[in-house]
């Protein structure tokens, strides 16, 4: 087992958003920095926009998790506002379908 990645519908509210599709991923630390997160996130972004026809995909990351934030930016999501989720400082990301 390495970890998981996926695309899920979030009813919300998170960051004052409801009913949005979120890219998420978690990998065991020994697999960090090997490209698995980027590959999985890109695959789910492509699946969501190209296959499912979603108009927008969102994500959020712990503000201190630079690795996760880089993944989201690398695949084309744009950083938005900072907010708190469960007492953790987070950064909101999203991208609209072309």
Length in residues, the chain: 98
pTM: 0.93
Show me where the domains of the chain are located. 3-96
**From the first residue on, what is the mean pLDDT of each consecutive set of 10 residues in the chain (98 residues)?**
97 95 97 96 98 98 97 98 97 97
- Give, in order, the Cα–Cα distances in Å from 23 to each of 42, 60, 69, 92: 9, 8, 12, 12
Return the sign of the alpha-carbon dihedral for residues 61, 65, 68, 69.
positive
Specify the CATH number of the domain 3-96.
3.40.630.30
pLDDT of residue 20: 97
């Amino acid at each position: 087992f390495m970890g998981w990645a996926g695309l899920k519908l979030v009813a919300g509210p998170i960051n004052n958003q409801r009913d949005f599709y979120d890219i998420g991923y978690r990998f065991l630390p020994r697999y960090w920095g090997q490209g698995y997160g980027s590959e999985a996130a890109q695959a789910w972004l492509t699946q969501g926009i190209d296959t499912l026809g979603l108009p927008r995909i969102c994500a959020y990351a712990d503000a201190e998790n630079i690795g996760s934030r880089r993944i989201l930016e690398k695949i084309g999501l744009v950083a938005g506002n900072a907010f708190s989720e469960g007492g953790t400082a987070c950064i909101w990301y999203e991208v609209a379908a072309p």
